[in-house]
Structure 1
Amino acid sequence: MQVERYRPILYLQYFLLLIDIVMNSFIEMLRFENVILLVLFVIQDVCIIFAVIVVFLLFFNTYIFQAGLVNILINKFKVGIMVTFAYFGLNVGLHVWEMTLRWDEPNKYIWETNGFIPVFVIQRTGAVLYYYFYKRTALKLGDPRFYQDSDWIRKEFDKRR
């Protein structure tokens, strides 16, 4: 892929990561109204879905995918894909639980609820892993080797046969 074509996509991916980072960092300060919190949670989850869609659109654009060598592509990026889906699951689970605890009283102190703190910590740790692996995947997909026929693709294909 040409640099001029890939740069806006990379900026979009970084923007989606930035939205997630900002939401994880500051969403707790906007808990005074349930509807605002719910909308922000939905925006955060939709941004993660858009980030996944962008990655898969980039997958579909590669020479490897168009040549039918999807296994090579999946094996190269399976950790990033799995971390992204795990983080999305953790995010949705934490959001549902937090909204369930806060719905009647938005300013209620929920940190004493059994199990909430460990899930919160796991979700935030998963966020760091998600940021790392998503950014790594985004940068790797900018490699021109994925968009043209080359010797390493042929070697990978020969290994698979």
Structure 2
Amino acid sequence: MTILTTKRYCVIVILQSILLIFDISVNSFVSFARRYPLDLLILYVVQDFCHIIALAILLLSFFSTYVFQVGLLELLYTRFRLTLILSVFYIILSIGLHVWHVTIVWHDPFAYYWSKGFHALSAIHKIVAVLYYYFYKRAALKIGDPRFHEGSIWMQKQLSFS
């Protein structure tokens, strides 16, 4: 495994930002595709695929740190636990919402489909999405901290606290 260089870090952050912007755009404008259920299905599949790619990129960023290569997984896990949990939870919520939405809209795209359960799931999805965007972007920027990519006094202090 290679250590994260500045150029590689910039490319990764830009790619992560593009994936987040795509996710925000799909969540914002998906109602325009309601008329065409097949387009909606394709859009949702691509969005879910992008969620999985975003999580994989974040994990690869973790794996390329010096902290990971030395074997201090617990240090990375404690720093980025909430981001990882939110990422997985957001993927599960998104897939659930997408399946429910496509199932409802598939036969009659213009029918009223906002049941209480669907409304609750949609609201929870939007709230978790905001938290996901914040914590994912924060983790993407924090993983570039030089302390994670070289041996340092900070890491020795973290080891002494463990």
Query: What TM-score results when the alignment is normalised by the length of structure 2?
Result: 0.94
- Distance in 2, matches of 1:108 and 1:157, equals 59
Which position in structure 2 is the counterpart of 1:10? 13
CA RMSD of aligned residues (A): 1.0
Q: Secondary structure of 2:116's partner? A: coil
Q: Is the 8 A contact 1:2 1:144 kept in 2?
A: no
Q: How does 1:89-100 map to 2 (within 5 A)?
A: 89-100=92-103
Which position in structure 1 is the counterpart of 2:111? 108
Runs of 4+ more than 3 Å apart? none
Q: Within the alignment, does 1:131 sit opposite 2:125 as a pair?
A: no
The Cα of 1:99 is off from its aligned counterpart by 1.2
Q: Secondary structure of 2:50's partner? A: helix
| Of 71, 76, 79, the match for 1:76 | 79
Moved more, 142-151 or 102-111: 102-111
Query: What TM-score results when the alignment is normalised by the length of structure 1?
Result: 0.95
Q: Within the alignment, does 1:155 sit opposite 2:160 as a pair?
A: no
Q: Within the alignment, does 1:38 sit opposite 2:45 as a pair?
A: no
- Distance in 2, matches of 1:151 and 1:107, equals 61
- Distance in 1, matches of 2:96 and 2:108, equals 19
- Distance in 1, matches of 2:67 and 2:145, equals 12
Q: % of aligned pairs identical? A: 43
